[in-house]
């Protein structure tokens, strides 16, 4: 994990990548479900060109949960390979069995041993085994184990106790490091360790630290409940003609040097998915920089090869003199390491951009962060807004209950729809009819009206069954179907159904094959790699173009005004929002598509 030269990345990775056949774009959830050792799994057969990240998105799953069940996937995916996809995220399942009020937990990292864990938490193996019956040396990455009991006086008692003249307390939040804490409170490591000996091994979320000095008290209020001030230093930085950008991507460069090019050429192996994603994003990002370079605007691009679990390497980069020279950071891709990097960057007033994650929690307590990929709930709210803005007032909304897991989606749609409906002066009484299955739709159907059927689920079996029956029932009647874009990828679902039901869906990306710039970019990519680009190439191009062109015209203060600067790229819209001044910016731009004459018609973005 290190900084690497852009030319060297292209040289090594391009040689192998250009030998690959064209990627397959189909990414669908499997209907093959099996119970293995008492646990239910989807059995997903990897198709050519599919990435681990993209598969995780299809199943609404975190990548770690998939890797935890498929050790071989860490080295890349191969066409035809079977992946075991758990019915629920490892994190979700583990969390449901965790009693955080009583115990302290540790999530096992790859390669960790019992000995290392006992040293980390100053606990002997016998005590560790008593907390975790059946514990063996065969530790599984991602599993949670108990490493101690919480003291009754730790969090609630200490946090709320009256402060004396010399003592304050602070509760560690997720992603904070010793280095970040010393910078936050302007103290040395020696001072922090003197007051908190346990911090020498690690600091963990929820840990209460003592800050034993009068200068850390403000109006006798514990630091753990002090408001966090917005960092406005960027607003006062002058506009320059030259900037340095840090691009943090998982190239896995050491592994890439060992790629067997001959094996790739004989189509016996596929290019590792993670490196393919990183290379495509980098290629688009670099293309945008080359297009923006001018005499009065120069960009120096520093590339850092970072992995998901290399916390030591991340710390080394963030503490380096070079890190302090960065004007903007894009990445890392993974939420955990992004929080670490953005935490360091905040102390230096460096804005950080998360390009791919949907998680909004990475924006908490850092107004200098922004994330590009809208969450599933943002897409749902966009669909509700579309219904209010663009569908006739005479429309009859029918929302279909699916599974317990999808109830939160339905609730979010109804709340947004009714909120926006009230703004138009209408009442919300009977605004939406909620039903179950095809029988409920038939009973709620009103002849002579436009009946908008909303199905917010990614369950392919359920969707195929109901949509097939809905098509037969509709028979050219007044029905419009709304849902997620995953519907379009269901195997064996006749496209006639989606066309006749006027299927509409929301998407975080929007492509237009007739767009001149898109055609030029595709030609540029094919000349390098002799294959079609993935979505990550266009995302890299759009992100670099949006941020850097605005940086050029507005200067660094632009990063504190993202919500006032909308924009649209080749495949990505930019429409930022933040709930308060202590939080970063979330991109809420989505595209609405409609099936029309057996083609996808982009209706615009919102």
Structural domains for the chain: 32-88 (3.10.350.10), 103-149 (3.10.350.10), 156-225 (3.10.350.10), 233-374+515-594 (3.40.50.2300), 377-507 (3.40.50.2300)
Q: State both tokens at 554.
A: 């507005």
Give the single-character DSSP code of 523.
Answer: H
What's the rounded mean pLDDT across residues 485-502? 82
pLDDT over 50 at 399, yes or no: yes
Q: Residue 575 — very low, low, confident or very high, per pLDDT cuts 50/70/90?
A: very high
- Name the helix (H) or strand (E) containing 604: strand 599-605
Q: Name the CA dihedral angle for 138, 142, 148, 154, rounded to a multiple of 10 degrees.
A: 170
pLDDT digit string, tens, across residues 128-166:
887 877 677 778 777 777 888 765 433 333 333 333 444
Here the tokens at position 313 are 């390497």
SS3 95: helix
**pLDDT at residue 385, as a whole number:** 87
pLDDT at 516: 85
% of the chain with per-residue pLDDT over 90: 14
Q: Is the confidence at residue 305, as pLDDT, over 80?
A: yes
**What would the two tokens of residue 405 be?**
């897991």
Q: Report the pLDDT value the prediction gives residue 328, as an integer from 0 to 100.
A: 95
Q: What is the mean pLDDT of residues 233-258?
A: 79
DSSP string, 409-436: HHHHHHHHHHHHHHHTT---TT-EEEEE
Helix/strand/coil (H/E/C) assignment for every residue in 430-486: CCEEEEEHHHHHHHHCCCCCCEEEEECCCCHHHHHHHHHHHHHHHCCCCEEEEEEHH
Find out whether 545 and 566 touch, Cβ atoms under 8 Å.
Answer: no
On the question of pLDDT at 268 being above 50, the answer is no
| pLDDT surpassing 50 at residue 524 | yes
**Residue 463 near residue 497, CB atoms below 8 Å:** no
Q: How confident is the model at residue 141, as a pLDDT?
A: 74
- Would you call 224 helix, strand, or coil by DSSP? helix
Q: What is the pTM of this model?
A: 0.62
Mean pLDDT is highest, among 25-34, 241-250, 405-414, for 241-250
Tell me: the pLDDT tens digits for 191-244?
788 878 777 766 776 677 777 544 443 333 333 333 333 355 676 678 899 999
CA distances from 203 to 144, 198, 207, 523 (A): 17, 8, 7, 50
What pLDDT is recorded for position 394?
A: 61
CA separation for the pair 182, 436 (Å, rounded): 55
500 CB-near residues (< 8 Å, 6+ apart): 471, 474, 476
Average pLDDT over residues 176-194: 75
pLDDT (0 to 100) of residue 493: 79
Average pLDDT value for residue range 173-199: 75
The fraction of the chain above a pLDDT of 70, given in percent, is 75
Per-residue confidence (pLDDT) for residue 551, from 0 to 100: 93
Whole-angstrom Cα distance, residue 183 to residue 382? Answer: 40
Model confidence pLDDT, tens digit, residues 354-373: 998 888 888 988 899 999 99
Segment 88-121, tens digit of pLDDT: 543 333 433 445 456 677 777 777 788 778 877 7
E strands, 177-241, are 208-211
What is the model's pLDDT at position 388?
Answer: 84
- Which of 504, 501, 503 minimizes the C-alpha distance to 469? 501
Token pair of 340, please? Answer: 């670490």
pLDDT tens string 428-439: 777 888 888 888
Q: Which helix (H) or strand (E) holds 321?
A: none
What is the residue-averaged pLDDT of the chain? 77
Does the structure show a pLDDT above 80 at 570?
A: yes
pLDDT at 212: 59
Q: What is the DSSP letter of 350?
A: -
Q: Say which range, 143-147, 418-422, 456-460, 496-500, has the weakest mean pLDDT.
A: 143-147
Residue 402 near residue 411, CB atoms below 8 Å: no
Q: What pLDDT is recorded for position 271? A: 63
Look up residue 153 and give its DSSP letter.
Answer: T
**Which pLDDT value is given to residue 101?**
54
Most confident of the following: 26-30, 352-356, 442-446: 352-356
| Sheet containing 328-330, strands listed edge to edge, beginning at the edge strand earlier in sequence | 3-4, 298-305, 242-249, 328-330, 352-354, 369-371, 585-587, 576-577
Q: What is the pLDDT of residue 371?
A: 94
Q: Minimal CA–CA distance to 323: which of 352, 359, 362, 293?
A: 352
**Mean pLDDT (whole number) for 7-30:** 51
The whole-number average pLDDT for the span 408-430 is 82
Does residue 340 contact residue 316 with C-beta atoms inside 8 Å?
no
End-to-end alpha carbon distance in the chain? 39
Q: Which residue has the tokens 């891709």?
A: 333
Burial class (CB in 10 A: 0-12, 13-18, 19+), 305: buried
Give the model's pLDDT for residue 291. 93
Residue-wise pLDDT tens digits, 315-349: 889 989 899 999 999 989 888 889 999 999 998 89
Using CB atoms within 10 Å of the CB of residue 380, give its burial: 0 to 12 exposed, 13 to 18 middle, 19+ buried. Answer: buried
Measure the CA–CA gap between 78 and 264, rounded to whole angstroms.
11
Is the distance from CB of 367 to CB of 584 less than 8 angstroms?
yes
Q: How far is CA 10 from CA 77, 282, 314, in A?
A: 21, 9, 23
* Per-residue confidence (pLDDT) for residue 227, from 0 to 100: 33
25 pLDDT more than 50: no
For residues 18 and 107, give the distance between their C-alpha atoms in angstroms, rounded to a whole number. Answer: 39
CA nearest neighbour of 353 among 380, 372, 336: 372
The helix (run of H) or strand (run of E) holding residue 528 is: helix 516-529
Poorest-confidence range of 126-130, 131-135, 294-298, 494-498?
131-135
Residue 289's pLDDT band (cuts 50, 70, 90): very high
């Amino acid at each position: 994990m290190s900084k690497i030269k852009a030319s060297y990345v292209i040289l090594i990775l391009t040689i192998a990548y250009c030998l690959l056949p064209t990627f397959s774009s189909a990414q669908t959830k499997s209907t093959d479900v099996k119970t293995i050792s008492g646990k239910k799994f989807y059995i997903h057969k990897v198709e050519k060109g599919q990435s681990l990240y993209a598969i995780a998105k299809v199943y609404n799953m975190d990548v770690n949960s998939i890797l935890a069940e498929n050790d071989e996937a860490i080295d890349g995916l191969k066409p035809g390979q079977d992946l075991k996809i758990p019915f629920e995220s490892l994190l979700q399942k583990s969390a449901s069995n965790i009693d955080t009020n009583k115990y302290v937990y540790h999530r096992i990292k790859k390669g960790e041993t019992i000995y290392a864990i006992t040293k980390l938490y100053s606990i002997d193996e016998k005590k560790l085994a008593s907390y975790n019956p059946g514990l063996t040396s065969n530790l599984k990455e991602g599993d949670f184990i108990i490493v101690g009991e919480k003291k009754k006086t730790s969090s609630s008692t200490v946090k709320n106790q009256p402060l004396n003249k010399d003592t304050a307390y602070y509760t560690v939040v997720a992603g904070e490091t010793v280095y970040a804490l010393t910078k936050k409170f302007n103290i040395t490591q020696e001072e922090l360790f003197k007051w908190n000996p346990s911090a020498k091994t690690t600091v963990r979320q929820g840990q209460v630290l003592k800050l034993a000095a009068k200068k850390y008290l403000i109006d006798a209020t514990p630091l753990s409940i002090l408001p966090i001030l917005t960092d406005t230093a960027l607003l006062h930085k002058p506009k320059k003609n030259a900037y340095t950008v840090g691009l943090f991507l998982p190239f896995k460069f050491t592994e890439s040097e060992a790629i067997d090019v001959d094996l790739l050429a004989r189509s016996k192996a596929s290019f590792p998915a993670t490196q393919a994603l990183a290379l495509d994003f980098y290629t688009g990002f670099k293309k945008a920089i080359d297009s923006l370079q001018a005499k009065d605007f120069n960009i120096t691009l520093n590339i850092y090869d970072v992995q998901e679990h290399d916390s030591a390497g991340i710390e080394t980069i963030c503490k380096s003199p070079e890190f302090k020279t960065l004007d903007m950071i894009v990445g890392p891709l993974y939420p955990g390491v992004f929080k670490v990097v953005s935490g360091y960057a905040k102390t230096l007033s460096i804005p950080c951009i998360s390009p791919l994650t949907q998680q909004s929690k990475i924006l908490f307590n850092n107004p200098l962060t922004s994330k590009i990929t809208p969450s599933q709930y943002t897409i749902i709210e966009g669909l509700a807004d579309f219904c209010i803005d663009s569908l006739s007032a005479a429309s009859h909304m029918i929302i279909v209950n699916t599974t317990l897991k999808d109830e939160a989606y339905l609730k979010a749609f109804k709340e947004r729809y009714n909120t926006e409906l009230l703004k138009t002066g209408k009442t919300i009484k009977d605004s939406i009819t909620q039903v179950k299955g095809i029988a409920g739709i038939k009973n709620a159907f009103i002849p002579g009206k436009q009946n908008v059927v909303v199905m917010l689920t990614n369950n392919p079996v359920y969707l195929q069954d109901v949509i097939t029956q809905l098509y037969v029932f509709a028979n050219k009647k007044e029905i419009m179907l709304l849902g997620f874009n995953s519907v379009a990828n269901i195997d064996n679902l006749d496209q006639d159904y989606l066309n006749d039901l006027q299927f509409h869906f929301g998407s975080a990306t929007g492509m237009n094959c007739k767009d001149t710039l898109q055609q030029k970019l595709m030609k540029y990519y094919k000349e390098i790699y002799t294959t079609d680009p993935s979505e990550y190439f266009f995302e890299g191009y759009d992100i670099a173009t949006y941020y850097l062109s605005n940086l050029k015209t507005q200067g660094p203060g632009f990063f504190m005004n993202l919500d006032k600067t909308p924009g649209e790229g080749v495949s990505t819209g930019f429409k930022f929002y933040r709930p308060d001044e202590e939080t970063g910016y979330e991109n809420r731009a989505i595209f609405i598509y409609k099936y029309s004459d057996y083609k996808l018609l982009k209706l615009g973005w919102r």
